[in-house]
Amino acid sequence: MHPFRQAVEARDEEAMAALLADDVVFTSPVAFKPYPGKPITAAILRGVMRVFEDFHYIREIADAGGRDHALVFEANVAGKKVTGCDFLHMNDDGLIEDFMVMVRPLSGAQALSEAMAAQFGRIQAEALDEISAKQA
């Protein structure tokens, strides 16, 4: 089992963040532009944990070299069932440097978009707090 999957299933936010490279790039299923950096990615993941209900992984696929992983999941968002996939690419240190998420169906993606939009002020504030704490 991939360590990120273990961290998510344990709802261990610190372990999840520890697996992210400082220069990780997060590509959302509902936002146009990617989000670069560990602080915003970790904050987005915490936000997702707040909006997903009954989240669970159902399948894990890895390449032979161990640098690429696909973690297929199911969850509910605002009463809509979603199926999605976390695509992870690991750097030379074994940390996640590219994190892309896709979800379906469209109604579920729309519910996720609305739920995350409601969280985004908090997500941005958490990311800025983390950046400020590192600079202090």
**Assigned CATH for 3-135:** 3.10.450.50
Domain ranges of the chain: 3-135
Report the mean per-residue pLDDT for the chain.
94
Residues of the chain with pLDDT under 70: none
Q: pLDDT tens digits for 111-135?
A: 999 999 998 889 999 999 888 888 8
Contact 94, 20 (CB under 8 A): no
pLDDT at 61: 96
What is the pTM (predicted TM-score) of this model?
0.92
Q: How far apart are CA 29 and CA 27, in angstroms?
A: 7
Alpha helices (H) in the chain, listed in sequence order: 3-9, 13-18, 38-51, 106-135
pLDDT at 87: 98
- Tokens 């199926």 locate to 83
Look up residue 120 and give its two tokens.
């985004």
